[in-house]
Amino acid sequence: MNGKVLTFYLNNRSFGIDITKVEEINRNIQFTPVPTSREYIVGLFNMRGQVVTLFDIGRRLEYRHRGEYKRPTSIILKQNSTDGDLVGFLIDRPGDVIDVKKGECEPLPANVSAVESRFINKIVKRRDELIMLIDTDEIFRHGYEEVQ
């Protein structure tokens, strides 16, 4: 992968997504919970007249539960060309936009969980940290289904 990546933090871990898939970052959002949805679907919120489905990406990756969502920050993804739905996910805090060169990317190590290996496609090795690159297409491809 050569390109720009938006980094963010979740459960004290560094993650990244291809910047071309990001619509915007929203801070301090107010959302409406959906009581009968899957546990990793946090709720819905209105973004300038469009309804956005919010995911708890930590739960989707089977990390510990975040607890309360105080002053939530979300990354909203660009609309998928196959449907008009907007989706986003909650993060602990945004990072930076970084340039990633092909030589910095490595495949996942063998000791990652099955869920992580499904949703994380590469590791970016930087001098001071490892950044797990999220496959946003896979995260939301079956967003309303259980992980197999």
Question: Distances in Å between the alpha carbon of 90 and those of 4, 25, 62, 128?
Answer: 21, 10, 14, 24
Helix (H, G, I), strand (E, B) or coil at 4: strand
Q: Above 80 in pLDDT, residue 5?
A: yes
Q: What is the mean pLDDT of residues 27-44?
A: 88
Confirm whether 146 is domain-assigned.
no
Q: Above 80 in pLDDT, residue 6?
A: yes
Long-range contacts of 99-105 (CB under 8 A, 24+ apart): 99/3, 99/4, 99/5, 100/1, 100/2, 100/3, 100/4, 100/5, 100/16, 100/124, 101/2, 102/1, 102/2, 105/1, 105/133
Q: Above 80 in pLDDT, residue 140?
A: no
Confirm whether 46 is domain-assigned.
yes
Confirm whether 148 is domain-assigned.
no
Q: Give tens-digit pLDDT for 102-135.
A: 888 888 877 777 777 788 888 898 888 899 999 8
Confirm whether 68 is domain-assigned.
yes
Q: Give tens-digit pLDDT for 14-32.
A: 999 999 999 999 998 899 9
- Per the structure, the count of domains in the chain is 1
Confirm whether 81 is domain-assigned.
yes
Position 90 scores a pLDDT of: 92
What CATH number did the domain enclosing 70 receive? 2.40.50.180
Position 66 scores a pLDDT of: 60
Quickly state the pLDDT bin for 144 (edges 50, 70, 90): very low
pTM of the entire predicted model: 0.84
The parent domain of residue 92 ranges over: 3-141
